[in-house]
Amino acid sequence: METLKDQIAVITGASGAIGGAIALRLARAGVRLCLTGRDDDRLGDAVAAGRAAGSPRVEGYRADLTRDEEVAGLAEHALEHFGGVDLLIHSQGLFRSGPVESSPIADLDAQYQVNLRSPYRLTQQLLPTLLERQGQIVFVNSTAGLQTRAGVTAYGATKHGLRALADGLREEVNKRGVRVMTVYPGRTASAMQEEVCAFEGSVYDPARFAQPDDIAAMAVQALALPRSAEVTELTVRQMRG
């Protein structure tokens, strides 16, 4: 992990399960962290955990990234207070269930704003510094971005769009030294998975699913690869034994 030491990471959704786990792994590797989320208490917990894990610098920046002015504020904060960005980790997400026939269009709009538009906009804002520093961008997607099933069509559509964003962006910036990776977690113990279980009518048992740190361990290992190689797509799912 020495290749990551003293780099600067912006992590969205850091108050969530996977984003928080990635932040903790990067903190242990000596990465300086700018963490963002919408829940003050959980964001504060993530900041405290990052500092306790040994990061030389951790700051929390509360933001609603569906608002353009708050996306711009986050980018400005990272550039002004950290001097640049080496790692941009998109880990925010919103899940709404329901069939196309009866789902409110507001559910599609909300998922589009969180799952696709805000990562697109923040990437635009930080791309100059990422190009300058030959950084890395990670999109935490979902296996729904690979194959969508009934009842989660709108969610899957936004995740397919996020996959297209990552693939197209990679074609634009890879030859300029920026690595772009998509992570496809399977069913992972998290608040979102609890919502999925409620939609299915099943009991939420965290032990049945992949753990957030499982996803984080693989993602950070890929980020630490030497520049002779890169991981473009990473699928990590729960054991089914």
CATH code for the domain in which residue 103 is found: 3.40.50.720
Helix (H, G, I), strand (E, B) or coil at 146: coil
What is the arithmetic mean of pLDDT over 172-194? 89
Q: What are phi and psi of 210, to 5 degrees?
A: -60, 150
Query: What are 116's two structure tokens?
Result: 């696709």
Between 135 and 203, residue with greater pLDDT: 135
State the pLDDT confidence band at 189, using cuts at 50, 70 and 90.
Answer: confident
Nearest Cα residue to 161 out of 108, 105, 212, 125: 108
Give the structural domain span for 115.
Answer: 2-224
132 in a domain, yes or no? yes
232 in a domain, yes or no? no
Q: What is the pLDDT of residue 239?
A: 82
144 in a domain, yes or no? yes
Give how many domains the chain has, as a whole number: 1
Write down the pTM of the prediction: 0.93
| Distance separating alpha carbons of residues 104 and 111, to the nearest angstrom | 12
20 in a domain, yes or no? yes
235 in a domain, yes or no? no
Q: What is the mean pLDDT of the chain?
A: 94
193 in a domain, yes or no? yes
Over the stretch 213-222, which tens digit does the pLDDT of each residue have? 999 999 999 9
In sequence order, the β-bridge partners of residue 233 are 182
State the pLDDT confidence band at 1, using cuts at 50, 70 and 90.
Answer: low
229 in a domain, yes or no? no
Over the stretch 91-121, which tens digit does the pLDDT of each residue have? 999 999 899 999 999 999 999 999 999 999 9
236 in a domain, yes or no? no
Q: What is the pLDDT of residue 204?
A: 82
* Residue carrying the six token digits 């969508």: 148
